[in-house]
């Protein structure tokens, strides 16, 4: 009886592990929301969060390839988050060293979150006559970006495309295997749940 019981327990554990792996993999795909890198052209590349890492590198690459004539860094307002340095600390030398004209870069410091960033993109596009933009961010951010930008821009003629960057620690099917990716994925999952709840309590 004991060997049979032990085998049954091991089988149950293996089944649970397989189910968890499948579930976590599906969650990673859900966060990415089937978003592939955009390969077309646009009037501007908008860098979510004003990141100075992979997101900025992606925007610079799009500019150098002639796919966008300008770049907007949608940064958090300095001082709102003490642990996060202001992303608007870009200087002219660092921009030029990336092969980008300083006059083609807008360092925007008026937004505090993704919702405000989407509104800022809407306003900038309207005031500058932009017809299309590329929104650059991280893979696990894509689902929430799509939901917020759809809500903010659906009533405008602006055409927008999401463009996920490549992160060294993010693997969609095994995101939980890396600590940084795991924490990022869990944060975005919670924020997406908040978005679900918001749908039941629309603002006036």
User: How far is Cα 171 from Cα 5, in angstroms, rounded to an integer?
Assistant: 37
Looking at every residue in the chain, the average pLDDT score rounds to 78
Beta bridge mates, 164: 137
What the block records as the tokens of 18 is: 């397989």
- Site of tokens 């603002």: 203
Per cent of the chain over pLDDT 70 is 72
Judged against a pLDDT cut of 90, whether residue 136 lies above it is answered with yes
Give the model's confidence band at 58: pLDDT under 50 very low, under 70 low, under 90 confident, else very high: very high
What's the rounded Cα separation, in Å, for the pair 7 and 170? 35
pLDDT tens for each residue of 87-115: 445 667 778 888 999 999 998 878 888 99
pLDDT over 80 at 10, yes or no? no
Which residue has 């969609």 as its token pair? 172
Higher-pLDDT residue of 42 and 80 is 42
CA pair distance 87, 30, nearest whole angstrom: 29
Q: Considering only residues 77 and 192, tell me which one the structure prediction assigns the higher pLDDT.
A: 192
Q: How many other C-beta atoms can be found within 10 angstroms of the C-beta atom of residue 144? A: 20
The reported pLDDT for the residue numbered 76 is: 60
Say whether 49 sits in a helix, a strand or coil: coil
CA 93 to CA 18: how far, in whole Å?
51
Contact 110, 86 (CB under 8 A): no
Domain ranges in the chain?
41-167+180-198
Q: Which residues contact 55 (CB under 8 A, 6 or more apart)?
A: 47, 48, 49, 136, 137, 138, 165
164, two tokens: 């996920």
Cβ 111 vs Cβ 75: under 8 Å:
yes
97: left (phi over 0), alpha (psi -120 to 50) or beta: alpha
Task: Give the CATH number of domain 41-167+180-198; options: 3.40.50.920, 3.40.50.620, 3.10.105.10, 3.10.20.30.
Answer: 3.40.50.620
Give yes or no for a contact between 185 and 28, defined as CB atoms under 8 angstroms apart: yes
Which residues, listed in sequence order, are joined to residue 106 by a DSSP beta bridge? 72
Q: How many CA atoms lie within 13 A of 200 on its CB side?
A: 4
Q: Where are the alpha helices (DSSP H) in the chain?
A: 2-32, 54-64, 92-97, 114-128, 142-153, 179-198
């Amino acid at each position: 009886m004991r060997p049979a019981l032990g085998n049954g327990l091991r089988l149950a554990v293996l089944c649970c592990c397989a189910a968890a792996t499948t579930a976590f993999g599906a969650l990673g795909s859900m966060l990415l929301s089937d978003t592939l890198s955009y390969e077309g052209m646009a009037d501007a590349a908008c860098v979510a969060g004003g990141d100075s890492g992979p997101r900025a590198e992606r925007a610079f690459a799009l500019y150098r390839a002639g796919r966008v004539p300008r770049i907007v860094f949608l940064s958090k307002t300095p001082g709102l988050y003490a642990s996060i340095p202001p992303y608007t600390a870009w200087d002219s030398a660092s921009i030029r060293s990336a092969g980008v004209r300083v006059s083609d870069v807008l360092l925007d410091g008026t937004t505090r979150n993704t919702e405000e960033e989407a509104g800022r993109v809407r306003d900038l596009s309207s005031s500058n006559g932009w017809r299309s933009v590329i929104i650059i961010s991280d893979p696990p951010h894509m689902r929430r970006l799509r939901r917020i930008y759809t809500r903010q821009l659906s009533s405008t003629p602006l055409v927008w495309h999401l463009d996920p960057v490549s992160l060294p620690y993010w693997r969609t099917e095994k995101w939980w295997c890396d600590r940084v990716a795991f924490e990022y994925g869990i944060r975005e999952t919670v924020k997406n749940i908040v978005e679900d709840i918001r749908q039941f309590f629309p603002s006036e």
